[in-house]
Amino acid sequence: MGAEVIEVEARLAGLGLQWPELPRPVASYVPAVRSGPWLVVSGQLPFREGKLVSCGPVPGVASLELAQSAAAACALNALAVLRAEIGGDWSRFVRVVRLGVYVASEPEFTAQPRVANGASDFFVRIFGEAGKHARSAVGVTGLPLGATVEVEAIFEIR
């Protein structure tokens, strides 16, 4: 698992992605808390270059595909928080443990797990087996700043 994880920077570049600006909390909380081997990353919104990439509920305002892309953007932001917490030393990373994915949903929408796959698949592409995790996908009536999706993560680190 270790050699695979050290290739994080190359895998990200291979996907044509660059590190985002480190997300800043939008309220009264910290980006992450470490407790023992666990790094709990606060809920991340789908910001790219300081702007939300998707707002509004699925499927009426945001399509399923846009929501999946937004979930991947949330995952990248969570990864940026992890990177800052470990000082860019990917040998400290062990695995993705759990994701909580919240999807702004219209009442009839029940495909929250498919939206959450945007984040889950992102972590598997970056980390391989160490990216597989437990997960909850929950539909909600609204999210901070009107975002379509929010993703929180728990990582195991050394």
Predicted local confidence at residue 100, as pLDDT: 98
Predicted local confidence at residue 6, as pLDDT: 57
Predicted local confidence at residue 2, as pLDDT: 45
- Gyration radius (Cα) of the chain, Å: 15
Predicted local confidence at residue 26, as pLDDT: 83
Predicted local confidence at residue 47, as pLDDT: 96
pTM of the complete model: 0.95
Query: Can you give the residue ranges of every domain in the chain?
Result: 2-19+32-157
Longest dimension (CA), the chain: 44
- Classify residue 11 as exposed, middle or buried by CB count within 10 Å of its CB (0-12, 13-18, 19+): middle
Residues of the chain short of pLDDT 70, as ranges, are 1-6
- Give the SS3 label for residue 19: coil
Cβ neighbours around 100 below 10 Å, total: 17
In CATH, 2-19+32-157 is 3.90.1170.40? no
